[in-house]
Amino acid sequence: MLFNSLDFALFLPIVFFLYWFVFKHSLKAQNALIVVASYVFYGWWDWRFLSLIAFSTFVDFWVGNQLGKTDNQKRRKVLLWTSILVNLGFLGFFKYFNFFQESFVDAFSLLGYHFKGYSMNIILPVGISFYTFQTLSYAIDVYKKRLEPTKDIISFAAFVSFFPQLVAGPIERATNLLPQFYKKRQFDYAKAVDGMRQILWGLFKKVVIADNCAETANLIFNNYQDYNGSTLLIGAIFFAFQIYGDFSGYSDIAIGTAKLFGFRLMQNFATPYFSRDIAEFWRRWHISLSTWFRDYVYIPLGGSRGGKWMKVRNTFIIFIVSGFWHGANWTFIVWGVLNAIYFLPLLLANKNRTHLGVIAENRMLPSLKELGGMGLTFFLTVIAWVFFRAESVEFSLYILSSIFNLNASYFPIMKVFIDGKYVFALLSFFFIVEWFGRGHQYSFVIIKGIKSRAVRFVWYFLIFQSILWYVSKQQDFIYFDF
């Protein structure tokens, strides 16, 4: 069920009504409703995959309870590895089986051995990369004794399958989200209004910004041989805004929807394109995944505590694993390596935590130095996005060679500007709102600062109308493929 669909527009108010008006007196009934609603939401794509999420839920619930019953370190490790192997086993089979066998065949072909591999027609379950990491966080935190194991299967099932963030995050920690299912929720009108505002802005990001940028980006990438380097660069820039609007839009809708039911989810994006270096970018982009890898992979590997070699090794491991998490294609691995290369000079110079605050804090405009850093970081990110968007490494290298080929015919094809004039106008408005809202949990919250209720209503109406105007261009969320 897509957030930007009529199905969800009918589904959400029904669940909201049942939650607050029918089951409001029983916490267990509310949690059970969330489980049922979440399974309906997820099964809307393909009901067969409900068995996977149910099995993963029961395995980790059992593992957590067994961990709570023993202090035997050997048995605890066996239980932890049971959770890891089950969750990553499902993820590996459905997402990476064909990739590994095809890479295996190609590797032996280079050595002169030719044999036919077996490719299976495997359907990737929507959101499997997200909920497997969420359940793993529970098993790891219980193992590390950061969290007491739950004995409430309904609350745990609701935590695993919570429909607002089930399919594309944020990837919640058990230490943050699970305890919220134990506490009685009271309807908070102000929080609900804020949630609706964030949902509206998330839909605007997805429907108006991302889906419009997608038209131009897809046209250029799908016909890349017909365009010169500067036009291909414009296509990459449009894709950069497409993926940001698409993914951060989903996160805003998820976080806003959770607020309607009395839950608090973590912030997943913090205006990353205003970052002054690549380290700041990764503190602001897909925060739930970046911090997950930091806490459960990078720090256990030694983090930055060792010498330079350990820092370099751990940095490359994190970025390569992050790239591979995104998809079973060498393009994602190259994307991860490239970001590691970007990050490395900052790490080795101990400048990776230079920019911890918001850009141009307490100022209207950035300094020239900040503007230069922001421009360079955005350009490097756009170049990396080429590998993320392209279908193969060869495809990516062709586009990049064209972009950096500064010849006489480098000026962009004017038709791109003419056809995309409305998109440029929308992006300008989007940029302004994001800039003025850069220090907030989500940008559109700045509308609360407008004192006139009539003016606020006009803005809400215009945003809503723009969503209705462009919703016919409905496209799936990009991260559903991951």
- With a CB cutoff of 8 Å and minimum separation 6, the contacts of 154 are 28, 31, 32, 35
Asked whether 279 and 343 are in contact (CB, 8 A), the reply is: yes
Q: What is the 3-state secondary structure (H, E, C) of 242-276?
A: HHHHHHHHHHHHHHHHHHHCCCCCCCCCCCHHHCC
Asked whether 229 and 405 are in contact (CB, 8 A), the reply is: yes
Which of 209, 213, 214, 217 is closest to 236 using CA atoms? 217
Collapse the DSSP code of 341 into the 3-class scheme (helix H, G, I; strand E, B; otherwise coil) and give the result. helix
What tokens were used for 42?
A: 């997820």
Alpha-helical segments (H) within 355-481: 368-389, 393-403, 414-419, 421-436, 453-470
326 as an active site residue: the answer is yes
What tokens were used for 5?
A: 């669909």
- How far is the C-alpha of 467 from the C-alpha of 463, rounded, in Å? 6
What tokens were used for 61?
A: 């619930």
The dihedral over CA atoms of 408, 414, 417, 418, expressed in degrees to the nearest 10, equals 180
- How far is the C-alpha of 315 from the C-alpha of 344, rounded, in Å? 7
Choosing from 25, 114, 286, 326, the catalytic residue is 326
- With a CB cutoff of 8 Å and minimum separation 6, the contacts of 9 are none
Which of 70, 37, 73 is closest to 162 using CA atoms? 37
Active site residues: 326
